[in-house]
Structure 1
Amino acid sequence: MPFPLRRVFPFLLVVAIAAFVEVPAVAEPLRLSIVHVNDWDRLDAKDRAGGAAKIASIARYERDRVEAEGGQVLLTFGGDMISPSLLSGFDKGAHMIALANVIGFNAAVLGNHEFDFGPEVLIERLKEAKYPVLGSNISYKGEPGFPGAERSLLVEAGEYKVGLLGLTTTDTPSLSSSGPDVAFAPLAEAAAEITEALRAQGADLVIALTHAVYQNDLETLRQVAGIDIVLGGHDHLVLVLYDGKQAILKSGSQGNFVGIMDILIDRVEGRSGPQLVWQPSFSMVNTIDVEEDPEVAQRVAGYKSELDKELAVDIGLTEVALDTRRASVRTGENAFGNLVADAMRVATGADAALTNGGGIRGDTTYIPGRVLTRKDILTELPFGNRTVTMRLKGSDLKAALENGVSKVEEGAGRFPHVSGISFAYAGGKPAGARVTDVKIGDLPLDLGKVYVLATNDFVARGGDGYASLKNGKPVVDASSARLMASQVIEFIQSEGGVKTVVEGRVRRLD
């Protein structure tokens, strides 16, 4: 047995279908095993879970096991692969495509992070992929589809046909760098069109690979009855839902969990002629106890060795505890967030600085006395963002702060980390009316005054909902700006380490 399985909440969900009992079959039944991963951009295991080699091990084991029993396996991916990660900052995700080719995915959907380096880079990555990538609701330069991506896919599975489509969140333009030439149609609208076409081509089972939040998946299934299964991603949930007719499976992130849906497909004679019936069972593999695939582990080791040589450079000791876990950087003032904002403000000489918590991605903690390296900082800030400066009216800066705390209850990535700014907010009030007591330095914010603001190039162009920042007049634009990560490294070195603490820059009143 290639790996020991530690399955979390294994269960069988089967709905008895009257037409399936004691009626003659008109086709040979097929066991189809779907192995699903989503939101994976990390090379190796963390806390013994996840990473390429463990995903590969499960995929190989399932293929060997199921195919030996006469069944078929579909290995699917729910989006967000080429970014963000440390190495992606250097090769723009090429190593992830190479690893995915070795693992052998059968189908994937484009996630919002696939557009982090712009559409031109994504087109190059798709040329390297040896597996089909779906983008059913995407158009490029006014034409349906995206270069190198498929709008739909029809897979032969024994005597049956499985249709696949791919849906990417319509929030992608504000979450990534898709640019003006890429558009995203409403999910259900695109799904209805593609599903109808797949059924017309003879699809017996229709599967939607989606990169969207769970609520959008539910709405898509509600509006498009012709979809049988959603294999999702984007919100990092570990989730199984089945109501007897339609199913949703999401597998968390980073390969920490791998979802498996075993389906028995049969075609039987019903009252109105032959009809398809399918019965699913589900399991969720916790990869902590999964042995790594040796071939993929060796490739991962090679990539890590290259990185270590480049990045194993000490930059300074932190005198304070730092917490960059997702929940910490997206819900309140944070010492590492303060550090980044301070570095941006000092490097540019701006009146104030603002950066979004979603741009901090290390998801870890550092104890006092830890020596930070260049690798640590680039792991925390993997997007390659640049620090731009702009002249911005106080009213637009106030609107930016309102946006920053507008979805704090959801843990959204727009949460603002600031320098040279302090403010309070009431999370229980309506979004857009939460922020009070804004100060720039020691003085109250003047709504009519123009300030120089340093921020990252992503939010400067309206990313994460920061539309008011687009009203700013550029002082230093992205083409002339420096990397945020470089400024943070230089700031730590100039300060002789990290001394930044939480000091009441952002105060929640309720």
Structure 2
Amino acid sequence: MDNIAHIKILYTSDVHGNALPVLYGTNEVADLGLAKYATAVNQTRATNEHVIAIDNGDLIQGTPLMTHYVKEHTDRENPMVGIMNRIGIDAGVIGNHEFNFGKKILTDAIEQSSYPWLSANIVDKETKEPYFGPPYIIKKFPNGIKAAIVGVTTHYIPNWESPNHIKGLEFADAFTTLKKWVRKIRDTEKPDILIASYHGGLERDLETGEPTEVLTGENQGYQMCKEIEGIDVLLTGHQHRKLVSKINDVLVIQPGNNAINYGEVQLSLERKDNKWTVMNKEGQLHSLENIHSDDEVLRYMEDIEKSTQTWLDQPIGYIDGDMTIKSPFEARIQKHPFIQFIQEVQMAATSVDISVTSLLNNESKGFSSIVTMRDIVSNYMYPNTLVVLELTGKDIKEALEKTAAYFTHNAEGEITVNPTYIEPKPQHYNYDMWEGIDYTINVAKPVGSRIEQVSYKGSHLEDKKTYHVVLNNYRATGGGNYDMFKNKPAVKEIQKDAVELIREYFERQKTVKAFVKNNFVVKAN
């Protein structure tokens, strides 16, 4: 038996429903998707007998394909799971977006999987046992090498997700849970390699250790590397970053999102005294550029892709005027007809007159004169539902101050985006625009005291008076660190998702006029 061995770990994270090499908003061909990744895995396995393949979460949500699947085709196998079954991955990890379509879609996906979903810290509220799958698995190779793979998920999910989607679940602290299981696995299984797959990211600068975000516990990867003994490799995700580094001799890696890149870790081991020891570990990210799509995957996807494309091309309604977005920055700094439209949809669905929304993505193009389902799902890519909260005037002012932190100004006094909303993870969706109140953001003032002249129906907003406000479910639970919304009374919940609400709005109106109510000002003086 050879005394030197090499193990390759291939992994994806934050694939977000990207099965095929296509951008659904434009139908352009793109170098991304699991069909291409399948080829890369097959090519690696053809020349390496020691391969571990893992998915690190946020697999089943994120494209029109998956929205269409959930609306029309849940009687058949989840296509993302079907592809991973064909690739033959060893394990998956649950991501926060796995819950977006409700618990049944997730449990069905897990039941359809020919691989386990590792779930060490998502436990049954009553029994405290892992709810969806085992905490870890062991993979043994013919040369006797024993690899342990343990999976944990960011425990911050209750801050974002609809309560009915996570009913009966408890999200234990990911760091504490991982520390417990690493110790237990090392003591009982005595593996040669221990891989931690964490659907979460890095909360500190990799070089200096300085915090790069408010330390809420959403991301604990740095702490895991520093304070948990026994991890060889930490696979990360959630933040959509691209990185390869070492922290405290733990190789840490993150491959971005949308299956544009995948991660590869190569471990070199040496056998001495009948024991294998990791001698070297290297990581790299690979692009899927110039890799052809796997024929078996393409055949498998043919029917549902055809159905998706037909659905996307359906004309839903018409726009009278201009609702296209030419500059996402301009659409945030002054009222845009598309933002006005979303506010109108939310207010119509809930019968309230104060509404909050965001421009969710810098790739959003708004609506041209003919609106198709493709346009709707390209602009509103999250399956958000709506919640009406009872908020005090003080709550609203605090939320406005929070959103005003999105802006800063340069030496010339020009308004720009605060870099913390761009790095390490773009968070443009955490800048909110309000409807039904009038307000001014003065970027020249310090963060926390930028809001001027807040009024409702011509009168000053009263701190102790309560108001009914419609928000999406992510924001209503405090998502984006809007803590002032946490645990506030929910007056009403609309269980239809935003895509369905927009479609219904067009069905009623047929033609929607583009207009704005100029109720807010952003200035720097």
Which category of TM-score, normalised to the shorter sequence, fits these structures? 0.7 to 0.9
Tell me what 1:51 maps to: 33
Residue 134 of structure 2 aligns to which amino acid in structure 1?
Answer: E
Tell me what 2:392 maps to: 393
**TM-superposition CA deviations, 1:241-283 (whole Å, max 9, x none):** 03682201111011101122222222236xxx95613323333
Secondary structure at the counterpart of residue 92 of structure 2:
strand
Q: Is the 8 A contact 1:89 1:383 kept in 2?
A: no
Q: Residues 321 and 310 of structure 1: is their aligned pair in 2 closer, same or farther, counting only changes over 3 Å?
A: closer
Q: 2:197 aligns with which of 197, 209, 220?
A: 209
* Post-superposition offset of 1:49: 1.9
Q: Is it true that 1:260 corresponds to 2:235 in the alignment? A: no
Q: Is it true that 1:297 corresponds to 2:298 in the alignment? A: yes
* Post-superposition offset of 1:486: 3.6
Q: 1:166 aligns with which of 144, 151, 154?
A: 151
Q: Is it true that 1:488 corresponds to 2:502 in the alignment? A: yes
Matches within 5 A, 1:447-462: 447-462=463-478
* Post-superposition offset of 1:74: 1.0
Moved more, 159-168 or 239-248: 239-248
Residue 255 of structure 1 aligns to which amino acid in structure 2?
Answer: A
Tell me what 1:420 maps to: 436
Provide the C-alpha distance between the structure 1 equivalents of 2:252 and 2:334, rounded to a whole number of angstroms.
32
Moved more, 495-504 or 293-302: 495-504
Matches within 5 A, 1:123-162: 123-157=107-141, 158-162=143-147
Q: Is the 8 A contact 2:338 2:367 kept in 1?
A: no
Moved more, 149-158 or 111-120: 111-120
Unmatched segments (≥5 aa) in structure 2:
24-28, 204-219, 407-417
* Post-superposition offset of 1:35: 1.0
Q: Is the 8 A contact 2:148 2:193 kept in 1?
A: yes
Matches within 5 A, 1:231-310: 231-242=235-246, 245-268=249-272, 276-310=277-311
Secondary structure at the counterpart of residue 208 of structure 1:
strand
Number of equivalences: 472
* Post-superposition offset of 1:159: 1.7
Q: 2:54 aligns with which of 57, 62, 76?
A: 76
Q: Is it true that 1:35 corresponds to 2:20 in the alignment? A: no
Provide the C-alpha distance between the structure 2 equivalents of 1:331 and 1:50, rounded to a whole number of angstroms.
33
Q: Is the 8 A contact 1:351 1:451 kept in 2?
A: no
Aligned residues with identical type, % of pairs: 22
Q: Is the 8 A contact 1:192 1:224 kept in 2?
A: yes
* Post-superposition offset of 1:475: 4.5
Secondary structure at the counterpart of residue 392 of structure 1:
strand
* Post-superposition offset of 1:169: 0.9
Q: Is the 8 A contact 2:366 2:375 kept in 1?
A: no
Provide the C-alpha distance between the structure 2 equivalents of 1:398 and 1:297, rounded to a whole number of angstroms.
51
Secondary structure at the counterpart of residue 170 of structure 1:
coil
**TM-superposition CA deviations, 1:444-480 (whole Å, max 9, x none):** 323233333222244334444445445655553335x
Residue 507 of structure 1 aligns to which amino acid in structure 2?
Answer: V
Q: Is the 8 A contact 1:97 1:128 kept in 2?
A: yes
* Post-superposition offset of 1:423: 3.2
Provide the C-alpha distance between the structure 2 equivalents of 1:452 and 1:367, rounded to a whole number of angstroms.
27
* Post-superposition offset of 1:495: 7.8
**TM-superposition CA deviations, 1:348-376 (whole Å, max 9, x none):** 4422111355xx36x63438856331232
Tell me what 2:177 maps to: 190
Residue 355 of structure 1 aligns to which amino acid in structure 2?
Answer: T
Provide the C-alpha distance between the structure 1 equivalents of 2:332 and 2:186, rounded to a whole number of angstroms.
42
Provide the C-alpha distance between the structure 1 equivalents of 2:20 and 2:513, rounded to a whole number of angstroms.
28
Q: Is the 8 A contact 2:138 2:148 kept in 1?
A: yes
Secondary structure at the counterpart of residue 143 of structure 1:
coil
Q: Residues 30 and 332 of structure 1: is their aligned pair in 2 closer, same or farther, counting only changes over 3 Å?
A: farther
Tell me what 1:218 maps to: 222
**TM-superposition CA deviations, 1:350-407 (whole Å, max 9, x none):** 22111355xx36x634388563312321343344333343443322222333444567
Q: 1:86 aligns with which of 61, 64, 81?
A: 64
Q: Is the 8 A contact 1:338 1:417 kept in 2?
A: no
Residue 398 of structure 2 aligns to which amino acid in structure 1?
Answer: A
Provide the C-alpha distance between the structure 2 equivalents of 1:58 and 1:419, rounded to a whole number of angstroms.
48
Matches within 5 A, 1:347-496: 347-357=349-359, 360=360, 364-366=363-365, 369=368, 371-405=370-404, 409-410=420-421, 411-412=426-427, 413-425=429-441, 433-440=449-456, 442-469=458-485, 473-478=489-494, 482-489=496-503, 491=505, 494=509, 496=511
**TM-superposition CA deviations, 1:39-81 (whole Å, max 9, x none):** 01223223512112111111111111213xxxx1111111101
Provide the C-alpha distance between the structure 2 equivalents of 1:395 and 1:333, rounded to a whole number of angstroms.
24
Q: Residues 506 and 87 of structure 1: is their aligned pair in 2 closer, same or farther, counting only changes over 3 Å?
A: farther
Q: Residues 473 and 305 of structure 1: is their aligned pair in 2 closer, same or farther, counting only changes over 3 Å?
A: same
What's the C-alpha RMSD, in Å, of the aligned pairs?
3.3
Q: Residues 220 and 450 of structure 1: is their aligned pair in 2 closer, same or farther, counting only changes over 3 Å?
A: same
Secondary structure at the counterpart of residue 288 of structure 1:
coil
Moved more, 87-96 or 306-315: 87-96
* Post-superposition offset of 1:490: 5.1
TM-score (norm 2): 0.79
**TM-superposition CA deviations, 1:470-500 (whole Å, max 9, x none):** 5655553335xx5433443455673835635
Residue 319 of structure 1 aligns to which amino acid in structure 2?
Answer: D
Residue 43 of structure 1 aligns to which amino acid in structure 2?
Answer: A
Provide the C-alpha distance between the structure 1 equivalents of 2:130 and 2:523, rounded to a whole number of angstroms.
43
TM-score (norm 1): 0.81
Q: Is the 8 A contact 2:354 2:436 kept in 1?
A: yes
Q: Residues 393 and 167 of structure 1: is their aligned pair in 2 closer, same or farther, counting only changes over 3 Å?
A: same
Q: Is the 8 A contact 1:319 1:499 kept in 2?
A: yes
Provide the C-alpha distance between the structure 2 equivalents of 1:192 and 1:470, rounded to a whole number of angstroms.
29
Q: Is the 8 A contact 1:405 1:427 kept in 2?
A: yes
Moved more, 238-247 or 498-507: 498-507
Residue 499 of structure 1 aligns to which amino acid in structure 2?
Answer: A
Unmatched segments (≥5 aa) in structure 1:
1-25
Tell me what 1:11 maps to: none
Moved more, 49-58 or 239-248: 239-248
Provide the C-alpha distance between the structure 1 equivalents of 2:445 and 2:169, rounded to a whole number of angstroms.
35
* Post-superposition offset of 1:501: 6.5
Q: Is it true that 1:107 corresponds to 2:52 in the alignment? A: no
Q: Residues 366 and 462 of structure 1: is their aligned pair in 2 closer, same or farther, counting only changes over 3 Å?
A: closer
